[in-house]
Chain A
Amino acid sequence: MNRWMAATTAALLTIGLAACTDPGAGDTATEPAAITWPEPAAKLDGVKLTVWAAQNSNTVPKKVIEGFQRATGASVQVVTIPDPYEQGIQTKVATGDKPDLAFWQPTASMLTAINAKTNLQPLTGAPWLDRLDPKLRDITGLLGDVRYAALVTSPAVEGVYYNREVFAANGVTATPKNFEELITLAKTLKGKGITPFHEMGADRWATQWWVQVQLADAARSGLWDRINTGQEKFTDPTILGAIKKYQELIKEGLFNSDIKTAKFEDQGTALLNGKAAMVVQVNSFFGQLQAKADTATLNSRIGFFPIAPSGNVGTFIPDQSNALVAFKTGDAKREAAARQLLAYWMGPGYQDFLTDRNTVSLETGVADPAGVPQALLDVHAAVGSSAGSMQALAVANPDLYLNLADMIAGTMTPEQVAKATQDQFEQLAKAAGYLK
């Protein structure tokens, strides 16, 4: 009896040990030469694909999937991963759970974060690359020289969304030409009893845009390279100065009075009904406006201009809803089918997709749908000449936004924000093998 017990225990322990080793390890790299691209409409009866999407991107692929299922006979299921999306996916992938495709921020830092070399299929030689606008083809989606992400919509740009009617009613005829003019305009508007800017301290994530747009020129002259190599820090004057400026503007009362408790939803409502004149945001904010108003209303009411200290330069930040990655699942048939879905998306299905989403085309041969709002066209026009954001150019993506939200809530000083962000950046960069 005793011996049996000991033997069983030993067996269980061994099984347990084996079961608990890193499930993310052990995958072998696919040779780039072996990648094939099936015909977009080839038959795939009986193949089931899973696409992970976030709460704000789960309706993006609807039309594409309908078309793909009709054309190929495959069945595609979209699974919504709750926010915080990236965190949820990293946790799942770490435990060995992978979809066939997922929406994913196509930046080097986020491709590193999901261990693209081990977990993702390289998209080398994708058939749609030649059709893409050359200015956008290599703007993102690459880690080193290998392409891991397919950009499907125009990447997000940080800039100022403004209410045209509020501007007109207060005699503002031209949009600001640089950051200084933006602040002068804000002070004028405040003098007339209007809330110049709206910020969402409770939902937190947009707080970082205010710091990043101030860094656009520095980003162009290599700020993030210096941060990546440890030559410069968040605590040095460039970034700390931008954080201080942001706090100064808040203290001057240029933002909504409920800045600490306001949420993303409130921001859209405030700009649409003119309660606030301007919002510094990215494309997903415009997505919210589109859900609240039709194109005609948006065209007459909402405008966009990029901003930076030196002029109208945007800060480019591809986000999770702009791109997809295909996972190495170990099932060759499903891996090929996942690539086929991407080829269909950016091929025969692209026009339908754009019309359904009412968004700008990335391919030179496919025209923009007729109903794309003017603000989105303005945003897209800013992409080509924009500067890179922290997410696009830094090797790690620290929680700058969380620290800034704490600063807005009054529990952190700008110096503490810079220090906490720098510490976390170093921790993440070291874990990823940078910054020895």
Chain B
Amino acid sequence: MTSAIGTLTKARALPQAAPGTITRRTHPLWFLLPAYALLLVFFVLPTAYQFVYAFTDWSGFKASINPVGVENLTQLASDGTLFRALRITVVYAVLVAIFQNAFGFGLAVLLERDTLVNRICRTFFVVPVLMSALAVGYVFQALLKGTGLLADTTWTIVVVALIHAWKWMGLAMLIYLAGLKTIPEDVLEAARIDGASRWRAFWAIRVPLLAPAVTFNVATALLGSMNGFDIVQATTGGGPARTTELLNIFIYRTFGQGLFAQATTMSLVLFLLVTLMAFPVIYLLRRREEVQ
């Protein structure tokens, strides 16, 4: 934290910044404080505390909190439930990433031209993004009641991933649209003059140039749905037979039983997993951008 602010203040002392960097200063740096304060209280501190409480016996059953070493970790590792929940969470995140990007990309291509109908359609597809995730979950639960789609121990995870993707596809669409709009017209014109068909120009020119949008969309969908909770909780509550019990739902249940330290340990595992996944995923997607 302190080092981040230190870097910011140091930047002022170095007028010879890299070319293209905006060195002009319009606002005093302390304007950042409210934002950093919120980030600190609601993100940095809880995350830091995870590393403390995960190694204690904090519970709802007694007032004192004592250190217990790695006992919570060894217990979780010996119990298959954590690994099952982790597996379900990763499967869910990958499915969401695929569906959300496929839908978003399809919609962006379909609605790319700025016609009146397209503009109206785009607005409609963004509405679910603005809806409460719980409302989305309850609506789908009501819609799918009695169809058996939420009672299948194999396929329900796919159904909830589709619902998650449906809710967020409007955002992916917006990002892909922005990507499509920034492709320079002259590149496409050059392709046309070279005799490339529309099909060829699409796959050989426009899709590769969307790489930064792909990076953003895949990373946010994948890593965002690793932290999934609300939609699944509202739609299935983790059922049937806990086949859609994401790690966060498991954490919520454990916390609710008063086992706060164990729940914290699981959050820590999830935090580390998301971090470990984020670096290679973003690195690989970035490399893909450069290759193009």
Q: Does any Cβ of B come within 8 Å of A79's Cβ?
A: no
Hey, which chain A residues are within 8 Å of B240, CB to CB?
202, 260, 409
CB pair B40 A16 closer than 8 Å? yes
CB pair A87 B61 closer than 8 Å? no
Contact A20/B241 with A88-B256, A90-B256, A115-B61 known, Cβ cut-off 8 Å:
no
Q: Which of B95-103, B170-178, B258-266, B282-290 contacts A (4 or more CB under 8 A)?
A: B258-266
Hey, which chain A residues are within 8 Å of B255, CB to CB?
91, 94
**How far is it, in angstroms, between the C-alpha of A20 and the C-alpha of B51 when the chains are bound?**
13
Hey, which chain B residues are within 8 Å of A202, CB to CB?
151, 239-240
Q: Which of A5-13, A212-220, A232-240, A267-275 contacts B (4 or more CB under 8 A)?
A: A5-13
Contact A24/B60 with A90-B258, A406-B242, A411-B243 known, Cβ cut-off 8 Å:
yes
Contact A26/B63 with A260-B240, A410-B241, A411-B241 known, Cβ cut-off 8 Å:
yes
Contact A9/B1 with A17-B45, A86-B256 known, Cβ cut-off 8 Å:
yes
Shortest A283–chain B CB gap in Å is: 24
For residues 79 through 136 of chain B, which have their beta carbon under 8 Å from a beta carbon of chain A?
79, 81
Number of A interface residues in the complex (CB < 8 A)? 49
**How far is it, in angstroms, between the C-alpha of A77 and the C-alpha of B102 when the chains are bound?**
49
Number of B interface residues in the complex (CB < 8 A)? 44
CB pair B59 A87 closer than 8 Å? no
CB pair B62 A433 closer than 8 Å? yes
Could you count the A-B residue pairs with CB atoms below 8 Å apart for me: how many are there?
Answer: 115
**How far is it, in angstroms, between the C-alpha of A77 and the C-alpha of B253 when the chains are bound?**
28
Partner of A94, one of B41, B60, B81, B262: B60
**How far is it, in angstroms, between the C-alpha of A128 and the C-alpha of B117 when the chains are bound?**
72
Hey, which chain A residues are within 8 Å of B29, CB to CB?
1
**In chain A, what residue has the closest Cβ to B28?**
A1
Hey, which chain A residues are within 8 Å of B79, CB to CB?
423
Partner of A25, one of B5, B37, B64, B148: B64
Q: Does any Cβ of A come within 8 Å of B275's Cβ?
A: no
**How far is it, in angstroms, between the C-alpha of A261 and the C-alpha of B152 when the chains are bound?**
10
Hey, which chain B residues are within 8 Å of A16, CB to CB?
40-41, 45
**How far is it, in angstroms, between the C-alpha of A260 and the C-alpha of B153 when the chains are bound?**
11
CB pair B65 A22 closer than 8 Å? yes
Shortest A115–chain B CB gap in Å is: 6
Contact A12/B40 with A260-B240, A411-B242 known, Cβ cut-off 8 Å:
yes
Write out, one digit per residue, whether chain A residues 401-416 have a CB within 8 A of any chain B CB (1) or not (0). 0100110011110000
Residues of A at the B interface (CB closer than 8 Å) are: 1-2, 4-6, 8-9, 12-13, 16-17, 19-20, 22, 24-27, 84, 86-88, 90-91, 93-94, 112-115, 118, 202, 204, 260-261, 402, 405-406, 409-412, 420, 423, 427-428, 431-433
